[in-house]
């Protein structure tokens, strides 16, 4: 793949997905029909890139691995969040009905929805950063998180491979607070689109480069090191969507002139 295309692929696909979402939203499409088409299209593009321009040709997930990852995606990343969204909505409604709770005033609802999505991406990543970091240092959390690190290869579908209990913990820190703050459903949907597409690239076996965006986004070049079997390498790059918190807290890791070796769990 030409270098310019390697650098432009991620921003073009990601911004294209987000722009498509907003175009569908403005056309009056329901939230689900506005969010899922760009996400599924991005998944198809990433799949094609993995076939045509793989980062590492030896990373070939078995049929059993793919079947397991489909199960994780359906049950842990789709069915479980659907149940949690109902629960979170009920919690938020109860808190809003209490005259002593004025939490909704803490969120800048007057900002344009795009600005709110960007703000949510950065704010939500802070508690996710600390949860993720704790999962690598607290034994009981690591037992859950090891499910995600067990595969010996990276490809886009294993972005969804998480223990359901860890998925609940993630939702408690990066979703529930924003539901309680009364963040609009279109903002939440816009966040989901970026979250999903970035996650596909982050775990992909695509030979792409983010260039300067590696100082802002938690993309594939950074995240491969996080999946290394070597703990001195893996205990870095905890950011879910952005890498700024890793930079701030000293855990960003992207050594020059080197490629990640074996990945997985020893």
Mean pLDDT of all residues in 203-220: 97
In a domain, 47, yes or no: yes
pLDDT at 130: 99
Instruction: Find the range with the poorest average confidence among 51-65, 98-112, 148-162, 233-247.
Output: 98-112
Q: What percent of the chain has pLDDT over 70?
A: 98
pLDDT tens for residues 188-198? Answer: 999 999 999 99
Residue 102: give the domain boundaries: 3-249
pLDDT at 90: 87
Q: What is the pTM of this model?
A: 0.95
Mean pLDDT of all residues in 1-16: 90
In a domain, 256, yes or no: no
In a domain, 254, yes or no: no
In a domain, 171, yes or no: yes
In a domain, 176, yes or no: yes
pLDDT at 96: 72
| CA dist 6 → 10, 18, 96, 228 (Å) | 8, 20, 47, 23
Q: What gap in Å lies between CA 90 and CA 176, rounded to an integer?
A: 11
Q: What is the dihedral of CA 117, 119, 121, 126, to 10 degrees?
A: -160
Structure tokens at 56: 């590492």
Neighbouring C-alpha atoms within 13 Å toward the C-beta of 126: 6
In a domain, 266, yes or no: no
Phi, psi of 115 (to 5 degrees): -65, -35
In a domain, 265, yes or no: no
Structure tokens at 78: 């789709």
Q: Is the dihedral of CA 138, 82, 244, 218 positive or negative?
A: positive
pLDDT tens for residues 168-190? Answer: 999 999 999 999 999 999 999 99
Instruction: Find the range with the poorest average confidence among 7-11, 67-71, 101-105, 128-132.
Output: 101-105
- Residues 175, 86 contacting (CB under 8 angstroms): no
Q: Tell whether the model's pLDDT for residue 2 goes beyond 70.
A: yes
In a domain, 262, yes or no: no
Mean pLDDT of all residues in 25-35: 96
Total domains in the fold of the chain = 1
């Amino acid at each position: 793949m030409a270098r310019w295309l390697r650098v432009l692929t991620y921003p073009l696909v990601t911004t294209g997905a987000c722009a498509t979402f907003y175009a569908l939203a403005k056309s009056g499409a329901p939230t689900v029909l506005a969010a899922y088409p760009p996400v599924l299209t991005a998944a198809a593009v990433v799949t094609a890139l993995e076939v045509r321009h793989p980062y590492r040709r030896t990373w070939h997930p078995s049929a059993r691995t793919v079947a397991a990852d489909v199960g994780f995606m359906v049950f842990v990343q789709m069915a479980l969040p659907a149940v949690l969204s109902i629960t979170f909505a009920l919690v938020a409604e109860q808190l809003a009905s209490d005259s002593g709770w004025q939490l909704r005033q803490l969120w800048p609802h007057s900002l344009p929805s795009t600005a709110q999505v960007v703000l949510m991406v950065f704010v939500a990543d802070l508690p996710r950063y600390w949860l993720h970091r704790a999962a690598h240092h607290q034994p009981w959390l690591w037992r859950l998180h090891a499910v995600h690190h067990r595969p010996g290869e990276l490809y886009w579908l294993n972005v969804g491979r998480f223990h359901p209990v860890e998925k609940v913990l993630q939702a408690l820190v990066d979703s529930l607070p924003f539901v309680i703050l009364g963040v609009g459903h279109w903002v939440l949907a816009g966040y989901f689109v970026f979250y999903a597409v970035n996650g596909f690239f982050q775990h992909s076996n695509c030979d792409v480069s983010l260039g300067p965006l590696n100082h802002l986004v938690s993309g594939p070049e950074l995240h491969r090191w996080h999946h290394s079997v070597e703990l001195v390498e893996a205990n870095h790059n905890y950011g879910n969507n952005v890498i700024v918190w890793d930079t701030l807290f000293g855990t960003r890791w992207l050594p020059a002139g080197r490629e990640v070796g074996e990945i997985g769990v020893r």
